[in-house]
A and B are shown apart, each in its own frame.
Chain A
Amino acid sequence: MSRDKILAAARQNKPAPVPLPEIPAFAWPAEDLLASFSAALEKSGGKANLVKAGTPIAPAVKALYPEAQRIVNYVDGDTAVNEQLVQDPAAIDVVVLKGQLGVAENAAIWLTDWDCANRVLPFLTQHLVLVIDKDTLVGNMHHAYAVMGQQNPAYGVFIAGPSKTADIEQSLVIGAHGPRSMQVFLIER
């Protein structure tokens, strides 16, 4: 009943048609996408690491988080270990996931539920490591949606840095509810 009432009122009260604009092809002014991406990531509390293709990620992660006991690694980790650890996702120390693309203007990385294994993993883990191919970097969000905009996954997320809050006197605290740190590995081919 409310449905029909709302739709009827919207129909009756809406203004005359207004055309839908086209979004122009805005360029991202910086030529060096990696530099833009790294600067934006640092600004949002994360860190970028450039590695050569073929470099193993697992030892690098271990070196970054020497204290970590429970590392779920979907990039070059052990499948059996992963499967066992995700039984208790709240106890995971580090999650390593492959992202689909990175955005230079804001260091956002696109992941869908196919990339996350379980939607909650990148949020519940204490630390998050995302791996992307450097070649997937695009300039801005228009470029990003041009690439992944038609995917329409069941769930997808842009992640740009660790979880954070400034709700107490505008003091920035990294690690609000989700990851307390975020490292990004960019694979250079």
Chain B
Amino acid sequence: METKTIPHAEAATKFLANPARVQWHDETLWFVRYKRDKIVNEIPEWEQLRNLASQIKEHTLSQLDQYLEQFEAAAQANGVIVHWAADAADHNRIVHSILQQHNARKIVKSKSMLTEECHLNPYLEAQGIEVVDTDLGERIVQLNKEMPSHIVLPAIHIKKEEVGEIFHQHLGTEKGASDPLYLALAAREHLRQKFLAADIAITGVNFAVAETGAIVVCTNEGNADLGAHLAKVHIACMGIEKLIPRTEHLSVFLRMLARNATGQNITAYSSHFRKPAPGQEMHIVIVDNGRTTQLGREAFRNSLKCIRCGACLNTCPVYRRSGGHSYHNATAGPIGAILAPNLDMRKNADLPFASTLCGSCTDVCPVKIDIHNQLYQWRQVLTQEGYVPAAKTASMKAMASVLSSPARYSFAGKWARKFLRWFPSLALNKRLNPWAKQRDLPTPPKESFREWYQKNGGNQ
């Protein structure tokens, strides 16, 4: 599914070609944000919880090596087999080797953004192994041969009529059926067979507790549990940043995660896996894939606090109107835009610029990541490292020269206003001036403020 990267602005323009769909996308996500606002306002200590969550994560990152070792030792003592993967390729190889050991053919997988990040499914498919995504939204995009467009709501870009068509083709539902209840029940029947037949279940990890070696997985559908409990082998894949020190810290995160994500008090299931059930086998794959590099970047390290609630996507006015695929990464939206450049600056140089820096992402973040500041900082880094077009550099240099000199500035300002008055049609040329595509230009006044002030100034 690795495709050519289309820059964010171009992909967004394409998405916006269907205004009715964009309006629906915007309003649907805004409603999630509205439900989130309503429910967090029922918790008077919400801002305190944000501080606590942030501090717990910052503390953990500041001793990450010790907590990783502590977690590994505890998990091994629990009878869990622990693996370490330096990068995505390493991760995929490890998972594949476990599947091979068990001669596994039927794999079910619940939601794991990490396996999306590592492109596990296409890797395994290339080895002739089919993985069935069991989260309903993920199953929809998988059948439609797409990436999820949202980390919590994977199929938020797809309308029910389209789901109906996808299910008609793949699951044999009635042609033209689009009732969500009917379609979800069809998926239930289809996926039950998959659960019952699965050799191995792969899940993600929401939290990993260093002191006990337990992992916690949160779902509403119950798909992680059905998979993990029915298969002989459970493989849980986690990034190194999922650690928290102690069990009691779960109370802070479980109070915040679902409230901030979807406006629920808590997910239907918050499952704590510590030891495999008798007769079963449990593996944990601990993955770096650029995270220790990010840990070393002072301006960006606290992006590793992220608990993947997706609230910054829901609140982002750009995301709501450009769609998740415009971010050309497994993790879209503001958080995706500060994580992706760490992995590949050239490929993701467009993302930190796909923002107005409005700061809503920072204010909505349950672990207080200064997302919009990091977008600003990434812009500086990408520019310094040479990942912006030469023409932009030239125009910025010219602008800096004009704006740093009062004389050059006054001269340029005067002529810009004259130009606009004399050649309005040229300034309104939609090809030369993107501003003018959908917007009029301000009517240029004869006099600037400073010209007026020199005449009338202090004598008001």
Flag whether A35 is at the interface (Cβ < 8 A).
no
Q: When chains A and B are docked, how far (Å) is the Cα of A24 from the Cα of B250?
A: 14
Q: Does A43 contact B262, Cβ atoms closer than 8 Å?
A: no
**Is B269 in contact with A157, judged by CB distance below 8 angstroms?**
yes
Inter-subunit contact B275/A177 (CB<8 Å): no
A160: interface (CB < 8 Å): yes
A residues near B140, Cβ cutoff 8 Å: 167-168
B68: chain A residues at CB < 8 Å are 6-7, 10
Task: Using C-beta atoms within 8 Å of the partner chain, give the interface range for chain B.
Answer: 35 or more
Looking at the complex, which of A15-23, A49-57, A67-75, A76-84 is the stretch in contact with chain B?
A15-23
B440 at the interface (CB under 8 A from A): no
Chain A residues with CB below 8 A from B185, complex form: 173, 175
In the complex with contacts A10-B240, A43-B265, A175-B188, A153-B90 CB distance below 8 A: no
Docked Cα-Cα span, A6 to B83, in Å, equals 12
A142 to B247, CA, bound (A): 10
Task: List CB contacts (< 8 Å) of A104-134 with chain B.
Answer: 105-108, 113, 118-120, 123-124
Give the contacting residue for A15; candidates B44, B136, B240, B301; CB below 8 A.
B301
Q: Which residue in chain B gives the minimum CB-CB distance to A167?
A: B137
B220 in contact with A17 (CB, 8 Å)? no
Instruction: Decide if B55 touches A20 in the complex (CB within 8 Å).
Output: yes
Across the interface, B188 reaches (CB within 8 A) one of A7, A43, A177, namely A177
Q: Quick check: is B147 within 8 A (CB to CB) of the other chain? A: no
A90 interfacial by beta-carbon distance below 8 Å? yes
Check if A13 sits within 8 Å of B296, measured CB to CB.
Answer: yes
Complex Cα gap A119–B86 (Å): 33
Query: What's the least CB distance linking B91 to chain A, in Å?
Result: 9
- The answer to whether A152 and B136 touch across the interface, beta carbons within 8 angstroms, is no
A168 & B63 in contact (Cβ 8 Å cutoff): no
Q: Which of B8-16, B153-161, B452-460 contacts A (4 or more CB under 8 A)?
A: B153-161
A4 to B298, CA, bound (A): 22
Report the nearest B residue to A4, measured CB to CB: B84
Interface residues of B in 239-274 (CB under 8 A from A): 240, 245, 247-252, 254-255, 262, 264-274
Is A189 interfacial (CB 8 A cutoff)?
Answer: no
Question: Interface centre among B252, B255, B272, B275, by most A CB within 10 Å?
Answer: B272
Q: Does A87 contact B (CB under 8 A)?
A: no
**Does chain A have a CB within 8 A of B85?**
yes
Does A65 reach chain B (CB closer than 8 Å)? no
B245 touches A20 (CB 8 A): yes
Decide if A120 touches B65 in the complex (CB within 8 Å).
Answer: no
Cβ-based interface call for B163 (8 A): yes
Contact in complex: A14, B65 (CB < 8 Å): yes
Q: How far is the CA of A171 from the CA of B199 in the complex (A)?
A: 32
User: Which DSSP category, helix, strand, loop or mixed, fits chain B's interface?
Assistant: helix
| 8 A Cβ contacts from A163-189 to B | 163-171, 173, 175-179
User: What is the CA–CA distance of A166 and B152 in the complex, to the nearest angstrom?
Assistant: 11
| Among A90, A118, A168, A177, contact of B183 (Cβ-Cβ < 8 Å) | A168
B20: Cβ under 8 A from any A Cβ: no
- Chain B residue nearest to A46 (CB atoms) is B268
Of A16, A108, A118, A163, which is within 8 A of B220 by CB?
Answer: A163
Q: Which of B44, B52, B225, B262 contacts A166 (CB 8 A)?
A: B262
Q: Most chain-A CB neighbours within 10 Å: which of B153, B160, B225, B286?
A: B225
- Whether the Cβ atoms of A164 and B268 lie closer than 8 Å is yes
B58 interface residue (CB < 8 Å to A): yes
Range for the number of chain A residues in contact with chain B: 35 or more
Q: Which residue of chain B is the closest to A45 with respect to CB atoms? A: B268
A154-B274, A166-B262, A173-B184 are contacts. A10–B28 as well, Cβ < 8 Å? no
* B56 in contact (CB, < 8 A): yes
Interface residues of B in 171-212 (CB under 8 A from A): 180-181, 183-185, 188, 191-192, 195-196, 212
- Asked whether B86 lies within 8 Å of A6 as measured between CB atoms, the reply is yes
A9 within 8 A of B: yes
| Cβ-defined contact, B265 with A13, below 8 A | no
A13 to B296: give the CA distance in the assembly, Å.
Answer: 4
Q: How far is the CA of A140 from the CA of B255 in the complex (A)?
A: 8
Task: Find out whether the CB atom of B268 lies under 8 angstroms from the CB atom of A10.
Answer: no
Of chain A, the residue at the smallest CB distance from B62 is A18
Q: Which residues of B contact A7 (CB under 8 A)?
A: 65, 68-69
Contact check, A10 vs B247: say whether CB atoms are below 8 A apart: no
A97, CB-defined interface residue at 8 Å? no
Q: Are B154 and A167 in contact (CB under 8 A)?
A: yes
- Select B288's contact among A2, A118, A119, A165, beta carbons within 8 Å: A2
Do B196 and A158 touch across chains, with their CB atoms under 8 A apart? no
Looking at the complex, which one of A44, A156, A171 makes contact with B265 (CB distance below 8 Å)? A44
Q: Which residue of A lies closest to B183 (CB)?
A: A168
Residue B426 at the chain A interface, CB threshold 8 Å: no
Besides A2-B86, A10-B68, A152-B212, 9 more A-B contacts (Cβ < 8 Å) are A7-B68, A9-B292, A14-B62, A15-B61, A20-B55, A21-B55, A141-B255, A153-B274, A175-B188
Contacts A/B (CB < 8 Å), 11 sampled: A7-B69, A10-B240, A13-B295, A14-B63, A123-B225, A142-B248, A142-B252, A142-B255, A145-B251, A164-B268, A175-B185
Sort A-B residue pairs by CB-CB distance and give the 10 closest, nearest first. Answer: A178-B222, A13-B296, A167-B137, A106-B265, A9-B292, A176-B221, A120-B229, A154-B275, A3-B84, A171-B180
Residues of A within 8 A of B (CB): 2-3, 5-21, 23-24, 26, 29, 40, 43-44, 90, 105-108, 113, 118-120, 123-124, 140-142, 144-146, 149-150, 152-171, 173, 175-179
